[in-house]
Amino acid sequence: MADAVRVLITGNGGSGKTWLGERLSQRLSLPLVRLDDLYWEGAYGGKEREKQVVFDEVVERATEGSWVMEGVYGWLLPAALPRATEFIFLDLPVEACLDNVRRRGNQGGGSEASFAALLAWVAEYPTRSNANSRQAHQRLWDGFEGTKYVLGNRGEMDEFVGLR
């Protein structure tokens, strides 16, 4: 499918991946694939599904026509990256991400302790050393040879959607 449009979006928790994904999906009339929906069994933050099963499912979804796919999971992004035509890295300041998470509140009926853990996890994004870190996302973005964008604030995201 030579004219396929496959947009992959990543960034920190609270950076606006879902927000941007929903708007691009609507604007381009493409299905939105949320990696959270594939990774978690039931509601977000519930039981984690087996990683290899999820990875294989993302590979399969990535072969389907056109799509917008978003998620923080650096270990899952390589399942879709070879099929992506565009890669968007949302590189917002940590404080903006924390503000966004606080504004949207606790999702999935989690406890106050799990919400506090999420905020701590978001705050660690620049210093984490795992696949869901800023450094890991940057390495994937650097290695991507297709069309790619870094958006650093909501204004740039609004402008990007408006240009599509």
Contact 13, 151 (CB under 8 A): no
Q: How does 50-87 read in b/e, with b if 16+ C-beta sit within 10 Å?
A: eeeebbebbeebbeeeebbbbbbbbebbebbbebbebb
1 pLDDT exceeds 50? no
Give the C-alpha separation, 25 to 81, whole Å: 18
- How much is the average pLDDT of 123-142? 96
- How much is the average pLDDT of 54-73? 95
pLDDT at 131: 94
6-163 to CATH, choices 3.10.180.10, 3.40.50.300, 3.30.70.980, 3.40.50.150: 3.40.50.300
43 pLDDT exceeds 60? no
Cα distances from 92 to residues 18, 122, 134, in angstroms, run 14, 11, 10
